Amino acid sequence: MELTQQQLVQWRREFHRFPETGWAEFWTTSRIADYLEQMGFEILLGNQIINRDFVRGRQQAVVEKGLANAVAYGAKQKWLEKMDGYTGCVAVLDSGKPGKTLALRFDIDCVNVMETKAPEHIPNKEDFASLNDGFMHACGHDGHITIGLGTALWLSQNKDKLSGKVKIVFQPAEEGVRGAAAIAASGVIDDADYFSASHIGFCADSGTVISNPKNFLSTTKIDIRYQGKPAHAGAAPHLGRNALLAAAHAVTQLHGISRHGEGMTRINVGVLKAGEGRNVIPSKAEIQLEVRGENKAVNQYMVDQVMRIANGIAVSFDVEYETEIMGEAVDMINDTELVGLVEEIVLAHPKVHSANANYAFNASEDATVLGRRVQEQGGKAIYFVLGADRTAGHHEAEFDFDEDQLMNGVNIYTALVQRLLG
Ligand SMILES: [Zn+2]
């Protein structure tokens, strides 16, 4: 393997062709592991990188279907055994010399979007469109995998110039902010002195880098499930316990949570499913909601209120209930040392012409969970946006990005490695 634009494009297109949804990235993980093995990395999988108590929003039916598809597409048994049902991997490179540890994170999942059939769409024109119906790399994570592999390849060829250690995290299930918590809680990057992650595209065009995006919202995705008791709605309604009514009351109370005085908060109940039939007292209801907050503390306030209401309603309506956290991300403030370093690197790069520090992200990203974990252990973290021209918005069926920016991404990461571990 040689670190060339041609190699990067080949990787990007290979991963684009077989997109896999969060927690079902079995073929993707297997293929990444194949390449990392050829490069000579130590590869950590399954329990070595996942704390199952913190796995968010993993649906068994989706996992099983994904696994069957992945096996049919050629996922290797030896990697699947080590994954043990949990996707993603961490590549470790130890220089053998004492020094700092740097953790890099690249997300690997796709979006549940059907790719356009339009003939002018480049993946159709050049024959690398999704073969996995209903799924598409419509957020550019195929590019992230590629930048991660390119960085890994450079590392494997330049190991003798470095001190310390590099850990490259190929993270599952970023969509819905579900995958990072389990990796953070595994402790696999607790020894990191530095952490870096990035996203391709968004509002940044080719040749620009946003070195210090702000306003990452803390968020928690929660499901509340009520279990009542069915009964005849005419003859014996008093024998039933009404889960639908409980959930309906919960929804209005949830939207009535008092705002927090010390920071912006949001709540949205996006889904309410309940009931079995017109003449049956409904025995089941499920609420899918999310809260957001300007910071971790006000977001936690929202979570606490949600949990209190979920419980209070269950008492009022005499129904059973459970709650499940389906995803989470936190706010994160980039460390100035790393912002400065990325700006220096970017401005010295011939193909990048601007480093814009001021951009409000106003969304959530679970790389923040990993970055915050490193910061809480005394390390430093950065998240930046790598500009790339796009043909459509993220998560749209026509999404595609400028592949020429992949090498810029690799160059920024390898320069970062050299500056921190050189
Ligand atoms: Zn994304």
**Among candidate residues 328, 363, 379, the one where a domain is terminated:** 328
Known binding residue 139? Answer is yes
User: 97 C-alpha vs ligand 1 centroid, how far in Å?
Assistant: 35
- Based on the domain organization, do 173 and 281 belong to the same domain? no
Task: Render pLDDT for 100-143 as a digit per residue (tens, 0 to 9).
Answer: 999 999 999 999 999 999 999 999 999 999 999 999 999 999 99
- For residues 77-90, give the mean pLDDT: 98
- Based on the domain organization, do 55 and 75 belong to the same domain? yes
- Based on the domain organization, do 208 and 269 belong to the same domain? no
User: 139 C-alpha vs ligand 1 centroid, how far in Å?
Assistant: 5
- Based on the domain organization, do 266 and 382 belong to the same domain? no
| Rounded Cα distance, 255 and 278, in Å | 27
- Based on the domain organization, do 384 and 286 belong to the same domain? no
CB 248 within 8 A of CB 287: no
- The per-residue pLDDT for 362 is 77
**Among candidate residues 308, 328, 348, the one where a domain is terminated:** 328
**Among candidate residues 328, 361, 378, the one where a domain is terminated:** 328
User: 67 C-alpha vs ligand 1 centroid, how far in Å?
Assistant: 22
Give 258's DSSP letter: P
Query: What are the residues whose beta carbons fall under 8 Å from the beta carbon of 220, sequence distance 6 or more?
Result: 290, 291, 299, 302, 303, 325, 327, 328
- Based on the domain organization, do 211 and 271 belong to the same domain? no
Known binding residue 141? Answer is yes
- Structural domain including 294 reads 218-328
- Based on the domain organization, do 356 and 417 belong to the same domain? yes
- For residues 68-77, give the mean pLDDT: 97
- Based on the domain organization, do 315 and 343 belong to the same domain? no
pLDDT band at 203 (very low <50, low <70, confident <90, very high): confident
- Based on the domain organization, do 310 and 271 belong to the same domain? yes
- The per-residue pLDDT for 142 is 98
Task: Render pLDDT for 335-384 as a digit per residue (tens, 0 to 9).
Answer: 999 999 999 999 999 999 888 888 888 778 999 999 999 999 999 999 99
- Based on the domain organization, do 292 and 364 belong to the same domain? no
User: 108 C-alpha vs ligand 1 centroid, how far in Å?
Assistant: 9
Q: In what order do the strands lie in the sheet with 165-171?
A: 42-45, 89-94, 165-171, 101-107, 194-200, 380-386, 208-210, 354-356
Task: Render pLDDT for 385-420 as a digit per residue (tens, 0 to 9).
Answer: 999 999 999 999 999 999 999 999 999 999 999 999
Known binding residue 395? Answer is yes
User: 141 C-alpha vs ligand 1 centroid, how far in Å?
Assistant: 6
User: 281 C-alpha vs ligand 1 centroid, how far in Å?
Assistant: 42
Class of residue 279 by CB neighbours under 10 A (exposed 0-12, middle 13-18, buried 19+): exposed
User: 180 C-alpha vs ligand 1 centroid, how far in Å?
Assistant: 13
Query: What are the residues whose beta carbons fall under 8 Å from the beta carbon of 20, sequence distance 6 or more?
Result: 26, 27, 28, 66, 69, 70, 87, 108, 109, 110, 132, 135
- For residues 24-37, give the mean pLDDT: 98
State the pairing for strand pair 165-171/284-293: unpaired
- Based on the domain organization, do 277 and 353 belong to the same domain? no
Give the total number of structural domains in the chain.
2
Known binding residue 81? Answer is no
CB 213 within 8 A of CB 384: yes
User: Domain containing 168 — which CATH number?
Assistant: 3.40.630.10
- Based on the domain organization, do 403 and 348 belong to the same domain? yes
User: 89 C-alpha vs ligand 1 centroid, how far in Å?
Assistant: 18
Token couple for 337:
């040392």
Known binding residue 199? Answer is yes
- For residues 167-174, give the mean pLDDT: 98
Residue 27 is which amino acid? W
User: Domain containing 231 — which CATH number?
Assistant: 3.30.70.360
- For residues 138-156, give the mean pLDDT: 98
- The per-residue pLDDT for 233 is 95
Length of the chain: 422
- The per-residue pLDDT for 215 is 87
- For residues 65-78, give the mean pLDDT: 97
141-157 and 26-39 helices cross at what angle (nearest 10)? Answer: 20
Task: Render pLDDT for 234-271 as a digit per residue (tens, 0 to 9).
Answer: 999 999 999 999 999 999 999 999 999 999 999 999 99
User: 303 C-alpha vs ligand 1 centroid, how far in Å?
Assistant: 24
